[in-house]
């Protein structure tokens, strides 16, 4: 059940309208790492979770908060557009106001489609996609993805902070930055707790028997670049984070195999082949078989 309360978690008013910056904010609303993505990612993870208790409650709780962040950003975008000259500018360098708006860096669909409101798109107008969501059912894999999402989102919000001098906008962004700080720490701590509780370990999935891997290459750093300094890192020597092996460094592959013969799919795929008239030959053989039957 969802219940909407007409309050914001945090409210801020921009100093002045700015249709160009409204378009920039669309990235952290409807982009790959925007608030729509994290809100839906966490909700689907919770809906798909196979165990009740603290982890499911955690994911639901943060997901619900992120839905509120969607509303906060949509509200800010609408405020920035409220009195902005979307598509009509003074002394426009083009007589056509639509052209002037495009050159000015605004999203004309803010006006044409959304009536001076936010849209479920990124800063280039690309529609938000459900394929941005990671919800695998494996909690360690998902929580790692969540930490990454919060990191990428915080990077983008920090960049946006320096793209405006508007004190009201910066006030909102500073709040979102603070919540991203908290959520990064929550997901990383949840990863540690999952391991401590024995529910999941590295490598993910930890309940797949490693003996079924080609274990000889499980912990080899294979350098396929002409850069040599990667071998100086702790990922190329010493114990592995999962505690199951030791890293080793190798220039290039430690195994090779001959290339198999080229494949020859069904001739009715009509790929170029070195066997002429394959379709006709197949058809003829089928007809001959039917006649014999």
* Binding residue ranges: 35, 57, 66, 69, 150, 183, 223, 225, 227
Task: Using the structure block, give the residue that is written with the tokens 């902005």.
Answer: 84
CB contact at 8 A, 204 and 143: no
CB contact at 8 A, 154 and 184: yes
Which of 228, 229, 245, 249 has the alpha carbon at shortest distance from 237?
Answer: 249
CB contact at 8 A, 12 and 168: yes
Q: Which residues are annotated as a binding site for Ca(2+)?
A: 57, 223, 225, 227
Q: CA-to-CA distance for 11 and 78, rounded, in angstroms? A: 13
Number of H helices, E strands in the chain: 8, 3
User: What are the CA-CA distances from residue 191 to residues 76, 134, 271 (Å)?
Assistant: 33, 16, 49
Q: Which residues are annotated as a binding site for Mn(2+)?
A: 35, 66, 69, 150, 183
Q: CA-to-CA distance for 147 and 70, rounded, in angstroms? A: 18
Give me the count of residues in the chain.
293
Q: Which residues contact 32 (CB under 8 A, 6 or more apart)?
A: 122, 132, 152
Task: Using the structure block, give the residue that is written with the tokens 């609408």.
Answer: 78
Q: Which residues contact 151 (CB under 8 A, 6 or more apart)?
A: 180, 184
What is the CA angle 266-270-273, rounded to 5? 80
Q: Which long-range CB contacts under 8 A does 157-165 form with residues at least 24 apart?
A: 157/28, 160/24, 160/25, 160/27, 160/28, 163/21, 163/24, 164/18, 164/21
């Amino acid at each position: 059940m969802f219940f909407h309360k007409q309050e914001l978690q945090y409210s801020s008013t921009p100093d002045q309208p700015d249709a160009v910056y409204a378009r920039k904010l669309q990235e952290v609303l409807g982009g790959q790492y925007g608030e729509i993505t994290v809100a839906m990612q966490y909700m689907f993870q919770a809906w798909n979770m196979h165990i009740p208790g603290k982890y499911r409650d955690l994911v639901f709780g943060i997901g619900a908060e992120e839905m509120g962040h969607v509303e906060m950003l949509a509200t800010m975008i609408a405020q920035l557009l409220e009195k902005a000259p979307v598509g009509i500018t003074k002394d426009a360098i083009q007589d056509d106001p639509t052209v002037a708006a495009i050159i000015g860096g605004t999203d004309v669909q803010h006006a044409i489609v959304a009536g001076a409101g936010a849209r479920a798109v990124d800063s280039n107008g690309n529609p938000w996609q459900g394929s941005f969501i990671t919800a695998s059912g494996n909690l360690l894999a998902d929580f790692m993805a969540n930490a990454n999402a919060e990191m990428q989102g915080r990077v983008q919000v920090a960049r946006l902070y320096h793209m405006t001098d508007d004190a009201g906008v910066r006030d909102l962004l500073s709040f979102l930055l603070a919540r991203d700080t908290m959520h990064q720490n929550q997901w990383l701590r949840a990863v540690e707790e999952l391991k401590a509780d024995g529910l999941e370990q590295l490598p993910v999935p930890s309940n797949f028997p490693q003996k079924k891997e080609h274990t000889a290459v499980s912990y080899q750093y294979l350098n396929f670049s002409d850069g040599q300094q990667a071998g100086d890192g702790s990922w190329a020597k010493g114990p592995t984070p999962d505690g199951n092996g030791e890293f080793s460094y190798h220039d290039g592959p430690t195994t090779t195999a001959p290339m198999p013969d080229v494949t020859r799919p069904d001739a009715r795929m009509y790929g170029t082949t070195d066997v002429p008239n394959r379709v006709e030959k197949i058809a003829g053989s089928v007809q001959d078989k039917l006649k014999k039957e």
